[in-house]
């Protein structure tokens, strides 16, 4: 039984006094679904526990990195061991080298890599690098893709911006706007038109190879390769933002799964085992432009932090050693997606389920969701009710229609069935409304 979230309500009342909107990242505020955000005090395995001692099956997994479940023992032990040697040095460590070697081993397109502290830092730096390398200013991004909160990306942005209905943030200068070109996801002709009308001006094309930030949206067959070809032909750097998909959709991320070699890749929290880490990497020739080996400046005291590196190494080493994790995630993802489709059909609802590996979304629309326009046809009010129905039944979804869900290896068949039952019961109760 889920108790009334009295302690979360109290905590939120206090939070709004000191933190804008009461949260440190907008989607968490539950604004698009209504109600009070749950304040989480701990998590273990597949479960989150809130301040009122309610336990939920977690389908966010800290937005991706908890692929092995929360407080995974090898990661926890690595952190415990690392903190005995202090928390930060602002000087190089052998762990950073080990991490860099491991990433280049798992992702062959990444020949050199620079650690940073978040996905946002990774994407901002990758774009600066692309501009430095090509001597061009403009970039192409896709409507509804989210690459963190760097100025250049807050144009037609997905994730929280889309959930709050403000995909273009104020505070972005006209020159930034001018340099960011946007195309609809999965639309090749639009990209060709942008490239043709800005010949020799485009430094980079950045994409979420599978979008997680307008809900889960898959690339059409051949789309990622067609973009690769255009980029090669036009001297544009092809950047895969794998903050969500890296080491999740395959040991080598979406690029392994779809057989694409991007020029640059951005990575996030999974390489810190859930701690605040990001990285950008790619071809040696490009990465050697980064200071101090080259002139493109980027720096950070906490970059390559020893605790975060220890956590990430434990996580990535485990994933490398246990490829069966990916088979299990694949099976669970398919099982849940099929179960949801069956349930939706039985109830005569006609909603859309998108899924790839351990990422999925149930969209409250009968439309095939392939881009920003089709994602926006979803009935977000219905989704809000569904969200709360699931919460009441002990399942914690992303509090937005426009965020993918992430499965962990701790979701076994029994828990998958629990999720499906909760979903069926919630959808059935909504149909009666
Ligand atoms: N917008 C982030 C996921 N796409 C959510 C970040 C958070 O609230 O932690």
63 CB less than 6 Å from ligand 1?
yes
351 with 362, same domain: the answer is: yes
DSSP states of 350-391 as a string? --EEEEETTEEEEESSSS---SHHHHTTS-HHHHHHHHHHHH
Compute CA distances 349 → 334, 353, 364, 398, whole Å: 20, 12, 9, 21
Ligand 1 pocket test: pick from 21, 30, 63, 400 the residue with the most ligand atoms within 8 Å of its Cβ: 63
Q: How far is the CA of 62 from the centre of ligand 1 (A)?
A: 8
406 CB less than 6 Å from ligand 1?
no
Question: Is 335 domain-assigned?
Answer: yes
351 with 379, same domain: the answer is: yes
**pLDDT of 134 over the 80 cut:** yes
* Domain final residue, candidates 321, 337, 367: 321
252 with 184, same domain: the answer is: yes
Decide the pairing of beta strands 40-44 and 47-50: antiparallel
Q: How far is the CA of 103 from the centre of ligand 1 (A)?
A: 24
Question: Is 424 domain-assigned?
Answer: yes
Question: Is 240 domain-assigned?
Answer: yes
* Domain final residue, candidates 321, 343, 363: 321
Kindly report, residue by residue over 42-56, the tens digit of the pLDDT.
999 999 999 999 999
Question: Is 1 domain-assigned?
Answer: no
159 CB less than 6 Å from ligand 1?
yes
Question: Is 367 domain-assigned?
Answer: yes
210 with 280, same domain: the answer is: yes
Question: Is 156 domain-assigned?
Answer: yes
Alpha helices (runs of H) in 54-209, residue ranges in sequence order: 73-83, 94-106, 119-134, 159-163, 174-179, 188-197
**pLDDT of 188 over the 90 cut:** yes
**Of the candidates 407, 411, 387, 408, the residue with the CA atom closest to the CA atom of residue 398:** 387
Q: Rounded CA gap, 404 and 363, in Å?
A: 10
Kindly report, residue by residue over 162-176, the tens digit of the pLDDT.
777 676 788 888 888
238 with 251, same domain: the answer is: yes
**pLDDT of 422 over the 80 cut:** yes
Side-chain half-sphere CA neighbours of 78 within 13 A: 23
Q: How far is the CA of 48 from the centre of ligand 1 (A)?
A: 16
Q: Rounded CA gap, 390 and 427, in Å?
A: 9
> Do residues 364 and 379 lie in contact, with contact meaning Cβ atoms separated by under 8 Å?
yes
* Domain final residue, candidates 321, 344, 372: 321
pLDDT of residue 408: 98
pLDDT bin (cut points 50, 70, 90) of residue 343 is very high
**pLDDT of 433 over the 90 cut:** no
121 CB less than 6 Å from ligand 1?
no
Question: Is 219 domain-assigned?
Answer: yes
**pLDDT of 420 over the 80 cut:** yes
pLDDT bin (cut points 50, 70, 90) of residue 271 is very high
Of the listed ranges 155-164, 181-190, 252-261, the least confidently predicted one is 155-164
289 with 380, same domain: the answer is: no
Alpha helices (runs of H) in 186-262, residue ranges in sequence order: 188-197, 223-234, 253-258
DSSP states of 286-303 as a string? HHTTBTTTSSB----TTT
431 vs 166, higher pLDDT:
431
**pLDDT of 98 over the 90 cut:** yes
- 109's CB contacts (< 8 A; 6+ apart) are 255, 261, 262, 263, 265, 282, 283
pLDDT bin (cut points 50, 70, 90) of residue 106 is very high
Query: Taking CA 212 as the corner, what is the angle to CA 367 and CA 304, rounded to the nearest 5 degrees?
Result: 175
**pLDDT of 27 over the 90 cut:** yes
335 is in which domain, residue-wise? Answer: 6-71+323-432
CATH number of the domain residue 407 falls in = 3.90.1150.10
20 with 151, same domain: the answer is: no
- 107's CB contacts (< 8 A; 6+ apart) are 246, 252, 253, 255, 256, 265, 281
**Residue 86 burial class via C-beta count within 10 angstroms: exposed 0-12, middle 13-18, buried 19 and up:** exposed
Residue found under tokens 């100025």: 151
Q: How far is the CA of 120 from the centre of ligand 1 (A)?
A: 11
Q: How far is the CA of 24 from the centre of ligand 1 (A)?
A: 10
pLDDT of residue 431: 80
Q: How far is the CA of 97 from the centre of ligand 1 (A)?
A: 29
80 with 175, same domain: the answer is: yes
213 CB less than 6 Å from ligand 1?
yes
**DSSP symbol at 182:** E
Kind and range of the H or E element at 282? strand 278-282
354 with 293, same domain: the answer is: no
> Do residues 426 and 390 lie in contact, with contact meaning Cβ atoms separated by under 8 Å?
yes
- Per the DSSP assignment, residues forming a β-bridge with 407 are none
Q: Rounded CA gap, 262 and 250, in Å?
A: 16
**Of the candidates 430, 410, 258, the residue with the CA atom closest to the CA atom of residue 344:** 430
274 with 373, same domain: the answer is: no
**pLDDT of 193 over the 80 cut:** yes
Ligand 1 pocket test: pick from 25, 33, 210 the residue with the most ligand atoms within 8 Å of its Cβ: 25
**pLDDT of 432 over the 80 cut:** no
Residue count (the chain): 433
pLDDT bin (cut points 50, 70, 90) of residue 177 is confident
> Do residues 263 and 231 lie in contact, with contact meaning Cβ atoms separated by under 8 Å?
yes
> Do residues 262 and 205 lie in contact, with contact meaning Cβ atoms separated by under 8 Å?
no
Rg of the chain over all Cα atoms, to the nearest angstrom: 21
160 CB less than 6 Å from ligand 1?
yes
Tell the residue nearest (CA) to atom 4 of ligand 1: 159
**pLDDT of 154 over the 90 cut:** no
212 with 333, same domain: the answer is: no
How large is the average pLDDT for residues 392-413?
Answer: 98
Kindly report, residue by residue over 346-398, the tens digit of the pLDDT.
999 999 999 999 999 999 999 999 999 999 999 999 999 999 999 999 999 99
Q: Total structural domains in the chain?
A: 2
How large is the average pLDDT for residues 254-259?
Answer: 98
**Of the candidates 341, 397, 399, 350, the residue with the CA atom closest to the CA atom of residue 377:** 350
38 with 160, same domain: the answer is: no
Task: Specify the ligand 1 atom closest to the Cα of 212.
Answer: 4
CATH number of the domain residue 132 falls in = 3.40.640.10
Kindly report, residue by residue over 61-94, the tens digit of the pLDDT.
999 999 999 999 999 999 999 999 999 999 999 9
Average pLDDT, the chain: 96
Tell the residue nearest (CA) to atom 7 of ligand 1: 25
Q: Which residues are catalytic?
A: 146, 241, 269
Kindly report, residue by residue over 304-320, the tens digit of the pLDDT.
999 999 999 999 999 99
Question: Is 196 domain-assigned?
Answer: yes
Q: Rounded CA gap, 237 and 131, in Å?
A: 9
């Amino acid at each position: 039984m889920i108790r009334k979230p009295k302690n979360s309500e109290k905590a939120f009342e206090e939070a709004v006094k000191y933190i804008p909107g009461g949260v440190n990242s907008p989607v968490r505020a539950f604004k698009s679904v209504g109600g009070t955000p749950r304040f989480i005090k701990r998590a273990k395995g597949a479960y989150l526990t809130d301040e009122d001692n309610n336990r939920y099956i977690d389908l966010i997994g800290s937005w991706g990195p908890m692929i092995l479940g929360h407080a995974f023992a090898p990661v926890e032990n690595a952190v415990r061991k690392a903190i005995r040697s202090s928390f930060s040095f602002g000087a190089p460590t052998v762990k950073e080298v080990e991490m860099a070697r491991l990433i280049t081993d798992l992702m062959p397109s990444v020949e050199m890599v620079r650690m940073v502290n978040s996905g946002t830092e990774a994407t901002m730096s990758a774009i600066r690098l692309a501009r430095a390398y090509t001597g061009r200013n403009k970039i192409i991004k896709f409507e509804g893709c989210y690459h963190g909160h760097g100025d250049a990306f807050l144009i037609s942005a997905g994730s929280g911006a889309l959930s709050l209905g403000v995909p273009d943030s104020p505070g972005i200068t006209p020159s930034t706007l001018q340099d960011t070109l946007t195309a609809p996801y999965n639309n090749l002709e639009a990209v060709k038109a942008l490239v043709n009308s800005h010949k020799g001006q485009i430094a980079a094309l950045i994409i979420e190879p599978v979008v997680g930030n307008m809900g889960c949206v898959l690339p059409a067959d051949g789309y990622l390769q067609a973009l690769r070809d255009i980029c090669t032909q036009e001297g544009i750097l092809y950047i895969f933002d794998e903050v969500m998909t890296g080491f999740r959709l395959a040991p080598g991320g979406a690029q392994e799964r779809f057989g694409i070699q991007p020029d640059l890749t951005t990575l996030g929290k999974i390489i810190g085992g859930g701690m605040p880490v990001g990285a950008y990497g790619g071809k040696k020739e490009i990465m050697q432009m980064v200071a101090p080996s080259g002139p493109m400046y980027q720096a950070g005291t906490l970059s390559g932090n020893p605790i975060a590196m220890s956590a990430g190494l434990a996580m990535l080493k485990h994933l490398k050693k246990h490829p069966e994790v990916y088979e299990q995630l694949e099976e669970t993802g398919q099982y849940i997606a099929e179960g949801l489709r069956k349930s939706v059909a039985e109830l005569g609802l006609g909603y859309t389920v998108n899924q790839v590996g351990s990422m999925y979304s149930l969209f409250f629309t009968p439309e095939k969701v392939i881009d920003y326009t089709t994602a926006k046809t979803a009935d977000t009010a219905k989704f809000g009710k569904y969200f709360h129905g699931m919460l009441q039944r002990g399942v914690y979804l992303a509090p937005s229609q426009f965020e993918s869900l992430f499965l962990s290896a701790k979701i076994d068949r029994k828990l998958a069935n629990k999720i499906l039952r909760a979903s069926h019961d919630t959808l059935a109760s909504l149909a009666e409304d």
